[in-house]
Homo-oligomer: A and B are copies of this chain.
Amino acid sequence: MYEHTLIGLDWGTSSLRATLFDSTGHIDQLRHRPWGIRQLPEGGFAAALTQITADWPMLPILACGMIGSRDGWHEVPYLNLPTTPAEVGWALARINTTDHRSLYLIPGLRDQHGPDVMRGEETQLTGTLALRPELATASTCILPGTHSKWVLVREGRITAFHTLMTGELFALLQRHSILATGAAISDDEAFMNGVLAARHSGAKGAFSQLFSIRTLMLEGTLAESSVSSYLSGLLIGEEFRIALEEGWTIDQYPVQLIGDATLCQHYHLAARGFGIELDAPLEHAASTGLWQIARCAGLIRSTP
């Protein structure tokens, strides 16, 4: 049994995940609570931290995500691009908790073109480059989600990224718009037709095709229960269309999906609609990223 060396926190808007690492970087214990920065327990940040780490040893704590945002515990300035995982480790903010422990916060990244920002994904990216070092030379990383991130990696550096509100727009349209329907089924054919509609929309873009979903439904060409799949395909396809328009040469360099397996599966299928075959996605890259950043920052005591 190895001794424990680090507590890692992935502290986002809607949830808090704590990881207890042993001295080799393996996860010894994992805890998950619905204490995102907007839904904290009584006692706020400090109480949430004390409760989720109860019974764990007194160790350095490293946190990524919205906990370092303006609405978080303490605002950490963004690091401007280009940057490397090591530079992220050198720019941690340190605060002392009420129970006399050191909490280190990872800065988010900022792409001055856009402008665009991320908080939390930089840690997933760091983990990804540690797990798949061959991506460091030249690759595109896709982190699907409420706010999907497309990230360009060149010569070990994160050189550009672009956030698309795909997940949020999908949820809004599916719940509140005239495209909202009753029971939905998962329909791969409808999904792919949505992807292809996005691809064929050309410079007009997929949003120019939104109302056609309503018409296809009225005419019976698209079953009401498949509207949700079609809409999902259209919006995810739009991400690939935009990436190609931006000249991200996703057909030339490796493209790595990072995140939830089900969501990544949708992106995998959408890529196929653009004639691109992607590798298997990476899940749980954040914990590896926390470990890597802690090492770069010198937070981990070396053991014999």
Binding site for B on A (CB under 8 A): 70, 114-117, 147, 162-165, 168-169, 172-173, 176-178, 202-208, 210-212, 214-216, 218-219, 238, 242, 245-246
CA distance A212 to B176 in the complex (A): 23
Could you say which residues of chain B place their CB within 8 Å of the CB of A216? 115
10 A-B pairs with CB atoms under 8 Å apart are: A116-B212, A168-B178, A172-B172, A172-B173, A176-B176, A203-B245, A204-B242, A204-B246, A205-B207, A207-B238
Contact (Cβ within 8 A) A202 B172:
no
- A202, A205, A206, A246: most-surrounded residue (chain B CB, <10 A): A205
Contact of A116 among B205, B206, B211 (CB under 8 A): B211
The minimal Cβ–Cβ distance linking A200 to chain B, given in whole angstroms, is 13
Could you say which residues of chain B place their CB within 8 Å of the CB of A114? 211-212, 215
| Nearest CB in chain B to that of A213: its residue | B165
In the A-B complex, the 5 residue pairs with the smallest Cβ-Cβ separation, listed nearest first, are: A205-B205, A203-B203, A163-B211, A172-B172, A115-B215
Could you say which residues of chain B place their CB within 8 Å of the CB of A219? 115
CA distance A236 to B118 in the complex (A): 28
| Nearest CB in chain B to that of A175: its residue | B176
Could you say which residues of chain B place their CB within 8 Å of the CB of A203? 202-203, 205, 245
Contact (Cβ within 8 A) B117 A165:
no
| Nearest CB in chain B to that of A221: its residue | B115
CA distance A70 to B214 in the complex (A): 13
With A205-B242, A208-B162 in contact, do A116 and B215 touch (Cβ < 8 Å)? yes
CA distance A147 to B211 in the complex (A): 8
Contact of A70 among B208, B218, B238 (CB under 8 A): B218
| Nearest CB in chain B to that of A238: its residue | B207
